Amino acid sequence: MVNNETVLKALSKVQEPELHKDLVTLNMIQNLEVNGDTVSFSIVLTTPACPLKNLIEKQARAAVQAIPGVRNIQIHMGSNVPSDGRDRGLLQFPIRNVIAVASGKGGVGKSTVSANLSIALANCGARVGLMDADIYGPNIPTMMGIHQIPAPRENKLIPAESFGVKIMSMGFLVKPGQPLIWRGPMLVSAIRQFISDVEWGELDYLIIDLPPGTGDVPLSLAQALPLSGVVIVTMPQSVSLEDASRGLEMFKTLNVPILGVIENMRGDIFGAGGGEDMAKIAQVPFLGAIPMESSVRVGGDSGKPVLVSNPDSEAARSLQVIAEKVAARISIIANDQNSPVINII
Ligand X SMILES: Nc1ncnc2c1ncn2[C@@H]1O[C@H](COP(=O)(O)OP(=O)(O)OP(=O)(O)O)[C@@H](O)[C@H]1O
β-pairing, 203-209 vs 165-169, is unpaired
* Contact residues: Mg ion, CB under 5 A: 110-111, 134, 139
Binding of ligand X by 304 (CB under 6 A): no
Site string for ligand X, 214-253 (x = CB under 6 A): ----------------------------------------
Binding of ligand X by 264 (CB under 6 A): yes
Of the candidates 49, 73, 95, 108, which one interacts with ligand X according to CB under 6 A?
A: 108
From ligand X, Mg ion, none, interface partner of 227 (C-beta below 5 to 8 A by class): none
Q: Say how far apart CA 237 and CA 263 lie, in whole Å.
A: 10
Q: Say how far apart CA 288 and CA 267 lie, in whole Å.
A: 14
CA max distance for the chain: 74
Least separation in angstroms between CB 149 and ligand X: 20
Q: Say how far apart CA 145 and CA 270 lie, in whole Å.
A: 28
Least separation in angstroms between CB 299 and ligand X: 7
From ligand X, Mg ion, none, interface partner of 316 (C-beta below 5 to 8 A by class): none
Coil, strand or helix: which one is 35? strand
Least separation in angstroms between CB 152 and ligand X: 26
Least separation in angstroms between CB 143 and Mg ion: 9
CA nearest neighbour of 265 among 248, 285, 290: 290
Number of residues that bind ligand X (CB under 6 A): 21
Q: Say how far apart CA 220 and CA 189 lie, in whole Å.
A: 9
Q: DSSP letters along 281-314, please?
A: HHT--EEEEEE--HHHHHHHHTT--HHHH-TTSH
Q: Say how far apart CA 244 and CA 258 lie, in whole Å.
A: 12
User: Rounded to whole angstroms, what are the CA distances from 229 to 51, 133, 256, 259, 299?
Assistant: 23, 16, 6, 6, 27
Binding of ligand X by 48 (CB under 6 A): no
Least separation in angstroms between CB 240 and Mg ion: 14
Of 45 and 108, which CB lies nearer to ligand X in the complex structure?
108
The one segment of 175-183, 253-261, 292-300, 336-344 that binds ligand X by CB under 6 A: 292-300
Of 35 and 294, which CB lies nearer to ligand X in the complex structure?
294
Of 218 and 229, which CB lies nearer to ligand X in the complex structure?
218
Q: What size, in residues, is the chain?
A: 345
The footprint of ligand X on residues 117-146 (CB under 6 A) is 134, 137, 139
Which residues make up the interface to ligand X (CB under 6 A)?
103, 106-112, 134, 137, 139, 212, 264-265, 290, 292-293, 296-297, 300, 315
